[in-house]
Structure 1
Amino acid sequence: MVEKVALALVITARRMQMYFQNHRVIVKTNYPIMKILTKPDLAGRMIGWAVELSEFHIEYQPRGAIKFQALADFAAELTPYPTEEKTPRWTLYVDGSSNSRLCGVGVVLEGPREIVIEQAMKFEFKTSNNQVEYEAIIASLHMVIELEITNIICKSDSRLVMGQLTEEYEVRETLLQQYFHFVKNLVSREISFQHIRRENNTRADALSRLATLKKKGVHRSTIHVTLVKPSVSTDECMTTDTQPNWMTPIKQYLTEGICDPHLEKMMKLQAARYILIGQDLYRRGYSRPLLKSLSPEQVTYVMTELHVGICGTHSGARTMSTKILRAGYYWPTVQGDCTEYVQKCVKCQEFGTLSHQKPEHLHYVLSPWPFVKWGMDIIGPFAPDKGQCKFLMVGIDYFTKWIEAEPLTAITARNVHNFVWKNIVCRFGLPQVIITDNGRQFTDRGLARRYNSKVKPRSYQKEDLVWRMRSDARKDGGKFSSN
């Protein structure tokens, strides 16, 4: 016992090493651990434990009498623990029987105090063996819900049905999937499912055979029930969208020969490329098989599966459109739709290469060359300044956004003529277009007459040297440079 106490102390020191190293530890025990660990004639593993504990500041003190602790232990041992009343467990045995004439199920419910409830159910419709097993489970669950029983274990000898309900097997058939979801919706209580051997389910098997062989009235102790229709409806209704799309006029022309009289020639050429097989429209090809035409809803599904589906690779628009054609599908705007779909894909934008494409289309330039197109306007009147100048004449080049401005005392056609000649024509050449929203100052005929008198018509040939004015024109000459 002393070795166990020493081992517990060693394990505690290892687990709480940081506390043992930084603090003084007091160990209260009635066992002589200190005397044993300080003996010089220790042997075996006690020597290692003594060396390991010697690095810590440990004091050993006797435990002494613990009166209050003894009283608390005594009260804890004699106080009875409250026991929860367990709900009695019920066992449910189900089995189904199906032959060429009739189908039936047997249900046996066993509870506490030797309570046994038996039910035989006959079907007036033909079912498969698995469907019969599901009908038996549904009938037994209805009975359990009516009796308000909670703790139940359902046992059956059908390996497939029990495996599907315990989610051990996968439900693949459409009808069994409906039965599976129907049972899962009913199972809202503490119900578990278990598979048993056939020899352990003989009682329910006998009841299922009794339902198919005996008539109602025999064996009065058994509840006889007749089921007219299955619990799960097998009728399926598929809604179809009859909204017109791009295939509607082609189908109508191929089937009825009706189209718009103005588009009859074009429709005749277009319909020659298509063929109608059943209710599906196919496009002909010279070196490829028929391509199935898709509606807008099918287009979205196909693009999603090829791009982000289970085999999708987030390919580009050109590769994606080629895959669609190779898969045997077609619609007129396949290339544009693929491009738009790839551009909207979040993963392609997040992990794709950096795109240097402009976010907007390029804008047209209003002036193709500098100092060819000018815009002019008059600002004012302002407060009179030095020289009684109250107005400002401004000219802006459309290409370079170069600004020419000059203060004016009055708005006259002569002042406008001088401004245009001095600040625009003599510096940058004769402009091709001048845009303004003013009236008489710019529409005066003297401006055009003055320009025509100053500008002399000249003709140039190839390889001629042409000089361009760089500064203000003066009568005594100016500075020129080669153009």
Structure 2
Amino acid sequence: MEKLCLTLYFSACKLRHYMLSFTTCIIAQTDLVKYMLSRPILRGRIGKWVLALSEFSLQYVPQKAVKGQAIADFLAHHPMLDTLAVRDLEVATETITRPDLTCLPEYAALYQATVSLQPWVLYFDGSRTDTLAGAGVLENSAADRFSYSFQLEFWCTNNQAEYEALIIGLEVLLELGVQDIQVHGDSLLVINQLREKFRCTSFLLAPYLDRALELLVQFDDVDLEHIPRERNFAANELAGARVERRTLPSWLAWADSPAVAALDLIDVDWRVPLIAYLKQPDHSADRKIRFLVLNYFLRNDELLQRGEDGVDFKCVYGREAKCLMREAHAGVCGAHQAGPKIRWLIRRQGYYWPSILKDCITFAKGCQDCQAHGLVQHIPNIPMQPIIKPWPTRGWALDLIGMIHPHSSLQHKFIIVATDFFTKWVEAEPLKEASGATIRQFIFNHIICRFGIQRCWYRIGGQHS
């Protein structure tokens, strides 16, 4: 910060005869004048600089605003010709009630990238009356909101209608490419069965529960929350609406031939090869598996890791690992601590998986509450760029413009321009002839007499007639 203040002081001393008659705008990331005047005691170098700058009229302009205006001007003068017009995209969104990525192939990757920035909220509700059954789904994000209403053409219970609405909403989100979701429903039975707090004793609901858990595993982060019926008003209205809706058979009827093809999961449970080798040792197995299996053993068909101090760790994977990180970071006893501390807490409770430290650090960085209430970052928000010359008036670039047609009234045919690398200060003078004597006279009168002897000169190449 003191180097920037020194730069301001040196520039003001060199350009004093220009700055005394005008108001000078200081473009910087921080207000240098405010920094110097806010010192408790004006003494030493700072006090000397403040006294020297007191005769000038200085005005601070944030560098961000200037840079943003420059970027806006650049984009206005250099439009992108390959991108569709905004009005085309707006027409497409008005005519499609449900976003179909096949209709907008150019924006498929962009749409999938935007929906994953923050979690989507899924509100579901099912309704069963004496005459018909309905399912309502409301999907909401920061910028999009989609509502679906289905009439179920089969007999079902109220809990089955709730599961039908949940399965429909999850499949739609998977088709859109969403990875982080929050599921809100007013059915306490469905939410607690998904949380594995309630057991499913009904043979009618068991297939629905298995299908819902199979869909939830495909998401990266899932948050289940029970809400009162007043907060689920929109989904409840969609489930019980008496308007023309799309009829939908039971999930059990089309479970064998789904309309949307499911992608094969690339990520495989890391415990499977270890358990297979422990149950049936094979010398032809991979050498890495035979080496890693020395630290593991089976107890009641559960994979455990041997600890260094005699404490065994239960090996977990996938959704169970995410629940452990969420509980240790933001649970009842969680204090929103960093990734290494979350790893220490999880291992203290007796759990382990190979990428535990990396996953904990990533989970802590992605916590929205930590980002909103964390410490203020004082580092610059833009990367620091080195400058060519670290001092004002140390290097100048010369350029000769001409010959100019027609000539001026005083028969000036050329213009010589000198630009300072640091301050971008420009000195220019019209010339009648481009000779060595006139250029030497310009450098002596306008540069050396005003700013002193320079360290280096640069000539911008070009042909002049």
Length-normalised TM-score, structure 2:
0.32
TM-score of the pair, normalised by structure 1: 0.31
Considering Cα pairs closer than 8 Å and 6+ residues apart, tell me whether 1 or 2 has the greater RCO.
Answer: 2
Rg (Cα) greater in structure: 1
